């Protein structure tokens, strides 16, 4: 009898939870519908009418790129210096940010015998670094330092330090402590334990996260070009601003961005495979 009563109670609780979930979903849908109705009423062009034209501009870009013929490849070559500038911004920012991230990760991880009172302080520092998007930091720095790639590099490096520091610290938390304990028993210093016991374990994951962040930073650096940071983003802003007639240039920039991200992704797989000794990763 007791078992039957318990099963009945569980079934009743399950039905009640499902009812509450359904009510919650209905409330969310009601809020979304009312919000859509309000915003659609304020939108002079009407959302539904605009949705029917969603593919008009991308279609114009494709058509203009196709009509350019062989000259399209000349446009790709023309924009390569701007792409290289964006890559330089992303590369320098990732190197600087990655270097600081290693220091922050080592100082914020209990598993590597970091100084305990320093751990919460460093973790809050990384939270602050991640809290501010690159765009906000870049806008502030451009106001202070003027329009140039330097504000973009500083903004991306600052955010990268916090983001990679968090990821690196999580990698540190999952290492095997036996090598650390062995070196500690032999009288090794903290830096020696980090170099010979920690880094060999975390290096493959560090490299993987580092290259992933580089890929993200390439896109971030391109976006920052829209606010005056230079690089391929500034050219993309110009071509999109021109609208009709510059679709071939816009398409060339998109092709360059796609090719760059693809190359970085393949390089990440290859280098990580080499580091772990398993050949090229697939």
pLDDT-based confidence at residue 279 (cuts at 50, 70, 90): very low
Q: At residue 52, does pLDDT exceed 70?
A: no
- Among 87-91, 260-264, 274-278, the range with the most confident prediction by mean pLDDT is 87-91
Alpha-carbon span 154 to 167, nearest angstrom = 20
* Tokens, residue 160: 């990268």
Short-list 127, 107, 126, 125, CA closest to 117: 107
Element containing residue 8 per DSSP (H, E): helix 2-42
**Average pLDDT rounded to a whole number, residues 174-198:** 86
Q: How many CB atoms are located within 10 Å of the residue 168 CB? A: 25
Q: Give the confidence band of 161 by pLDDT, cuts at 50, 70, 90.
A: very high
Residue that wins the pLDDT comparison between 259 and 12? 259
- Rounded to whole angstroms, the Cα distance separating 164 from 274 reads 22
* Higher pLDDT pick, 57 / 116: 116
Between 39-43, 206-210, 259-263, 272-276, the lowest mean confidence (pLDDT) is in 39-43
Token pair of 7 as six digits: 């099963």
Q: In 3-state terms, what secondary structure has residue 184? A: helix
Return the percentage of the chain with pLDDT > 70, whole number: 86
pLDDT band at residue 49 using 50, 70 and 90 as cut-offs: low
- How far is 232 from 230, CA to CA, in rounded Å? 7
For residue 44, pLDDT over 60 is answered with: no
CA angle, residues 21, 26, 32, in degrees to nearest 5 = 125
Which whole number is the average pLDDT over 9-24? 81
Written as six digits, the tokens of 271 are 């280098």
What are the sequence ranges of the domains in the chain?
2-51, 71-276
Q: Does the pLDDT at position 14 exceed 90?
A: no
Mean per-residue pLDDT, 98-108: 93
Lowest mean pLDDT segment, chosen from 180-184, 241-245, 246-250, 251-255: 241-245
CATH superfamily of 71-276: MetI-like (1.10.3720.10)
Confidence of residue 105 (pLDDT cuts 50, 70, 90): very high
Nearest Cα neighbor of 133 from 34, 38, 224 is 224
CA–CA dist 106, 17 (Å, integer): 44
What whole-number distance in Å separates Cα of residue 142 and Cα of residue 224? 10
Confidence at 212, pLDDT banded by 50, 70, 90: confident
Range among 92-101, 133-142, 267-276 rated most confident: 92-101
Residue 86 phi/psi, 5-degree rounding, is: -65, -40
Q: What is the CA radius of gyration of the chain?
A: 26
């Amino acid at each position: 009898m007791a078992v039957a009563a318990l099963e009945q109670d569980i079934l009743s609780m399950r039905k009640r939870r499902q009812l509450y979930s359904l009510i919650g979903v209905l409330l969310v849908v009601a809020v979304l519908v009312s919000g859509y109705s309000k915003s659609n009423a304020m939108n002079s062009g009407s959302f539904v009418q605009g949705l029917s034209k969603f593919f008009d501009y991308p279609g114009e870009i494709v058509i203009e790129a196709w009509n350019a013929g062989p000259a399209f490849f000349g446009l790709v070559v023309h924009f390569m210096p701007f792409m290289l500038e964006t890559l330089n911004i992303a590369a320098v920012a990732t190197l600087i940010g990655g270097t600081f991230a290693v220091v922050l990760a080592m100082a914020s991880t209990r598993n590597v015998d970091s100084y305990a009172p320093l751990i919460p302080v460093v973790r809050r520092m990384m939270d602050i670094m991640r809290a501010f998007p690159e765009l906000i930091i870049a806008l502030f720095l451009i106001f202070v330092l003027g329009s140039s790639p330097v504000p973009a590099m500083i903004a991306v490096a600052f955010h990268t330090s916090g983001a990679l520091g968090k990821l690196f610290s999580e990698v540190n938390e999952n290492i095997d402590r036996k090598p650390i304990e062995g070196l500690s028993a032999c009288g090794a210093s903290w830096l020696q334990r980090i170099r010979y016991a920690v880094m060999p374990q975390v290096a493959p994951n560090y490299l993987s996260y580092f290259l992933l962040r580089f890929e993200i930073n390439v896109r971030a650096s391109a976006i920052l070009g829209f606010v005056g940071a230079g690089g391929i983003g500034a050219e993309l802003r110009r071509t999109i601003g021109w609208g009709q007639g510059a679709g071939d240039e816009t398409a060339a920039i998109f092709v360059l961005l796609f090719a760059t991200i693809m190359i970085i992704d393949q390089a990440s797989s290859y280098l990580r495979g080499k580091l772990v000794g398993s050949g090229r990763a697939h």
